[in-house]
Structure 1
């Protein structure tokens, strides 16, 4: 399957590719769907400050409601979140409101929070008829805004709804948590479509920031969000022709690395001895990117202020060197904030040569100085491209994640689907650990585990009872012993399934398996494994992933090797 041209895998993708850089010849769509305007609070719901009811202006009231909606969340107890919220909330207030409201601890959002909870409950308790009405209304929006015409095809758009305003949460200990994500207006949005298409109409009374006709990009609309200053895009759905091609190409580049990775590794090992300091720094950085799947770094969006780093932007304060004692291995201790402010902490044994170089790089430097002061991501990627066309530091992450999954899955044997899935998740987890894909344990984790454990205990009791009844039936030579045997077997199967499920949940509670599946693991490895192990694909990939990787499902044979 690897030798097949992507464009002949399925009929929709058989068309001839355009010249380099051109993504489409015709693009027409309705533009993004904007969230509804804010509806003021009813008269019987009041905000209180210092014990007195205060009627807020609409802009300030809307932002107050954002905070009230989150009172059940621990975010609202964090000092950084509260300080950022109050600062941005005061910007939305009138002068009179700013003079009055200065202390968040004197604010009482109780009635706003209670109203929000009532609305959530009401949505949960909608009748079947009301749910159907809502479903039909959403379907109507989807039909109008959720599709575009791309060349000769009606393609689904991925995120056609503009995110409503709210409070920024971020991940980890993000320094901007609690800031106001402002409402996006049509005046903020750039539209991209064909010159000869029907240009989308902006909402009444508004106009677009700009209308472009750029067929070298695949986005349909774009705007800049205010918190981090990053660009947001309306893109095609994951299973579109263009998205599928891009994914396939990404994994094919990573597969090509397999054929030359040994030579590249030999080269950077040699470069560790170079007389040029810049070459040595590049070699050590590449060693870490390859061995630890570190991100390259220097990838911050414009305006991003969080102190996050990657390999090339590490500072002296981010590593601690532990000399080899009594013949033991030299160890490097990493401690820094990576992407999305997720902490990366790891103690790694390294070769003496790498260790010696790190000592050299740190000489006469302060904690805040760059570890690799003669290297940046652009220099590293330029070097990598000279070794293999299309090779960047990011490709190493994809390659090492995929090859790790394939190696972990190799030789797994089991007759039970539940045990096969546990083995698959353990292989996936090895990749997630390599790539530092952490998550906080779900809020409901302890509760759901206690519930599952109770079911396990109940099933054990049923099994013991069934075994006693089988023993009795055999002793009395009753004809019902066959049915009793079936009951015992069924109980044993169900108990095994539950115990495997409990093990899986416990091992996964702080690891995010979905990130590597979505972005780093060649889907053909998983598809081939499912075919070989006779495991239904929907046990491994949810509908979103099956849609995204339709190309892999179509093209992969059981003998596929990454």
Structure 2
């Protein structure tokens, strides 16, 4: 105590030795306090844009703040703690700052939209990152033609490397791929090379292929330092080119890197597979930004094709690719405000369909009896779109793409009718290639009137004739717009997918289930939607091996459980004999060990079941594109399942609007 008093006296002497008065010191203290508050507020407002996504977190910390204040008052700190006033002042100050900050924070998807069709007022970005220039192969890596080494010109060599990298892939065995590749490769050759290289079968790319395999293996064997250096360079590019400024928001860009040249693969048996995807240059690029922004600079010695200032669109750059003549875009990341708003609107449109779907179904059922054939065809097509979640089927030029069809473009050869099959009446068998050349095969019983109409549509037609010869996508879409503003086949698909998920979750979720069992129920509900939408995939190449590894883990865990149960039995016998605290404690430890191993075993078994059920089903497509994320978020909140168990980091960023918006009682 004496030491403390002496210390305070010495401190007071030191304070007054600089001849400053109490009044001056108080004034100086107040000034510093104001500067500190201003500094904090400045920092707070500089991160306002960051907090757009984290309003919930601000509220959470403010709630903790208030709980601390309550605790202070409850413990009567005023009497016991000389610093109570300062603590309470600071806590109140932080609470006030939090509320001020919240008053400025408007969640991005709640912001007022422009009414003139504009998507933005200000847009600034750095432009795209181009693929690195071609690096010629070392002299020791040679190309052989008809058994003899041959030095290729740089353009011809580059295209040859594209083929050599794919030697182990089945694409290079397909005739159409080889034919298209050779045709485009010859366009890059010199006249001398063209005269010599006339047969692809005489070309030997083996040394090239082995060189690229060695390069790939070398990358895997890189040291941590080398990998870190590459990571840092990639991060630098992301920071420089991966963001744009749109209306005072720093938005992430989705695909700021231009795709490198290569060989077109396509899906299914695409007629253009093997063709050369040419290198995209600055002269091919159209830049879109605001007039008053700092325009992106093209690489030295080049220029952009055009610089536009179109605020009615959201793309930042575009170019036309040479294979199909389609326009490619650099767009914002799915987590951006505009993308989030578009997603929200898509699901809200599907929700609107819920209010009028019964009326629409009644109408198309009435139209099955129409006197006009075109109306009957339209009604049956709409029935298939509704019941089977078929795509409408876009019109396309013959021979330009793979032979894929949708509902409106079905041909006679794609449909078979069975008055009775497997104890079911009026069965229709569908067998055709849908989007991405995925086979759609389904046998379904339909209503009698639909079956009779299909028989009528098939009369006097050849296998290659259209099933709906008086219907196309334009006619169908026009009719859908008349039924409901904004209605399309995709809206029907989204509606049926989301409704199916919601119903399946209600049926499959058991309140008493563990978290892993609930996740299995969620995946089963998701699988029902994927089957409805025909979202298939080939089983992963490593599927069998991974399942064997998982089965080995299950067997090991079962052995552990058996041993743990025996140990528990022995511990119980010891306790029965001695009745002391030590043996009682041992029983409790062994019991907990058994419970822990049982939980671990159940997780592994659930994982094995989940993998087996979904080996040929692509759950991600429907989850990202057709299922209202608010259904999943509400389900997670209702049953205490972490959202990270359902959505990965990228998906959580994409659906941040839904995570913020949906409560546990949300209904689609």
CA distance in 1: counterparts of 2:359 and 2:201, whole angstroms = 62
1:143-542 equivalences under 5 Å are: 143-298=239-394, 300=396, 304-324=400-420, 328-411=424-507, 412-413=509-510, 414-477=512-575, 478=583, 480-542=586-648
Residues 191 and 451 of structure 1: is their aligned pair in 2 closer, same or farther, counting only changes over 3 Å?
A: same
Residues 188 and 532 of structure 1: is their aligned pair in 2 closer, same or farther, counting only changes over 3 Å?
A: same
> Contact 2:634/2:663 (CA < 8 Å) preserved in 1?
yes
- Displacement after TM superposition at 1:305 (Å): 2.2
Between 75-84 and 229-238, report the one with greater CA deviation.
Answer: 75-84
> Contact 1:174/1:340 (CA < 8 Å) preserved in 2?
no
1:42-121 equivalences under 5 Å are: 42-121=138-217
Q: Which residue of 1 aligns with 2:11?
A: none
CA distance in 2: counterparts of 1:140 and 1:148, whole angstroms = 15
Residues 538 and 315 of structure 1: is their aligned pair in 2 closer, same or farther, counting only changes over 3 Å?
A: same
Between 286-295 and 387-396, report the one with greater CA deviation.
Answer: 387-396
Q: Which residue of 1 aligns with 2:118?
A: 22
CA distance in 2: counterparts of 1:71 and 1:56, whole angstroms = 19
CA distance in 2: counterparts of 1:37 and 1:160, whole angstroms = 17
- Displacement after TM superposition at 1:302 (Å): 11
Q: Which residue of 2 aligns with 1:5?
A: none
CA distance in 1: counterparts of 2:573 and 2:353, whole angstroms = 66
CA distance in 2: counterparts of 1:540 and 1:327, whole angstroms = 39
Residues 78 and 454 of structure 1: is their aligned pair in 2 closer, same or farther, counting only changes over 3 Å?
A: farther
- Displacement after TM superposition at 1:421 (Å): 1.0
Residues 21 and 343 of structure 1: is their aligned pair in 2 closer, same or farther, counting only changes over 3 Å?
A: same
CA distance in 1: counterparts of 2:223 and 2:351, whole angstroms = 52
5+ residue gaps, structure 1, are 1-7
Aligned-pair RMSD on alpha carbons?
A: 2.0
Residues 120 and 469 of structure 1: is their aligned pair in 2 closer, same or farther, counting only changes over 3 Å?
A: same
5+ residue gaps, structure 2, are 1-103, 576-582
Larger radius of gyration: 2
> Contact 1:290/1:397 (CA < 8 Å) preserved in 2?
yes
More helix by share: 2
- Partner-residue secondary structure (3-state), 1:353: helix
**Residue number among 649, 653, 658 corresponding to 1:543 in the alignment:** 649
- Displacement after TM superposition at 1:380 (Å): 1.1
> Contact 1:26/1:194 (CA < 8 Å) preserved in 2?
yes
Q: Which residue of 2 aligns with 1:4?
A: none
- Displacement after TM superposition at 1:274 (Å): 0.3
- What are the Cα deviations for residues 22-41 of structure 1, in whole angstroms up to 9, with x where unaligned? 11111121111111011000
Residues 391 and 508 of structure 1: is their aligned pair in 2 closer, same or farther, counting only changes over 3 Å?
A: same
- Displacement after TM superposition at 1:549 (Å): 0.8
- Partner-residue secondary structure (3-state), 1:329: strand
Residues 455 and 71 of structure 1: is their aligned pair in 2 closer, same or farther, counting only changes over 3 Å?
A: farther
TM-score by length of 1: 0.95
- Displacement after TM superposition at 1:84 (Å): 2.8
CA distance in 1: counterparts of 2:108 and 2:342, whole angstroms = 15
TM-score by length of 2: 0.80
- Displacement after TM superposition at 1:95 (Å): 2.7
Residues 228 and 303 of structure 1: is their aligned pair in 2 closer, same or farther, counting only changes over 3 Å?
A: farther
Residues 277 and 9 of structure 1: is their aligned pair in 2 closer, same or farther, counting only changes over 3 Å?
A: farther
Q: Which residue of 1 aligns with 2:19?
A: none
- What are the Cα deviations for residues 39-79 of structure 1, in whole angstroms up to 9, with x where unaligned? 00011111222222121111121122112222333333333
- What are the Cα deviations for residues 440-491 of structure 1, in whole angstroms up to 9, with x where unaligned? 1111111111111111111112222222222233233355333222222222
- Partner-residue secondary structure (3-state), 2:420: coil
Aligned pairs, how many?
Answer: 555
> Contact 1:229/1:304 (CA < 8 Å) preserved in 2?
no
1:118-133 equivalences under 5 Å are: 118-133=214-229
> Contact 2:163/2:172 (CA < 8 Å) preserved in 1?
yes
Which structure exhibits the higher relative contact order, with contacts defined as CA atoms closer than 8 Å and separated by 6 or more residues?
Answer: 1
